[in-house]
């Protein structure tokens, strides 16, 4: 059976609403997949503006929220990704799926065509 893994990377201002861990847990139970969440915050207040120097950082160090979805059933996995896109929207950069495996990325990219992605 194929394992599907996708990392959805949302940078500040990308998701349509605040990502809540409780909602992710509900989606995990509903669709029978595993979902983890990580928030990376490295912006600093400088001269009254929230700023971050990203030029010398790895992508994993830049401020972002990462939702990782994994599962072994294509239908359940697809349904969960669709629900995440409907709630938060598709990731908005070319790096939005970095860290996904090939099978998971294929499904996530395919669903973007229907839910307002690239």
Q: What is the tens place of the pLDDT at every residue in 47-103?
A: 999 899 889 899 899 999 999 999 999 999 999 999 999 999 999 888 899 999 999
pLDDT digits (tens, 9 = 90+) for 39-61: 999 999 999 998 998 898 998 99
Give the whole-angstrom CA distance, residue 98 versus residue 31.
23
Pick the CATH number of 4-112 from 2.60.40, 2.30.30, 3.30.70, 1.20.120: 3.30.70
Q: How far is CA 79 from each of CA 32, 41, 73, 75, 111, rounded to the nearest angstrom?
A: 10, 29, 10, 6, 10
Look up the pTM and report it.
Answer: 0.91
């Amino acid at each position: 059976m194929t394992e599907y893994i996708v990392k959805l990377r949302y940078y500040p201002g990308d998701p349509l609403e605040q990502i809540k861990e409780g909602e992710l847990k509900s989606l995990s139970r509903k669709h029978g997949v595993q979902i983890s969440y990580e928030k990376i915050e490295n912006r600093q207040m400088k001269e009254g503006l929230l700023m971050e120097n990203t030029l010398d950082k790895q992508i994993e160090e830049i401020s972002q929220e990462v939702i990782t979805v994994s599962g072994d059933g294509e239908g359940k996995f697809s349904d969960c990704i669709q629900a995440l896109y409907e709630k938060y929207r598709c990731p908005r950069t070319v790096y939005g799926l970095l860290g996904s495996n090939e099978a998971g990325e294929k499904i996530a990219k395919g669903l973007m065509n229907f839910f307002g992605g690239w």
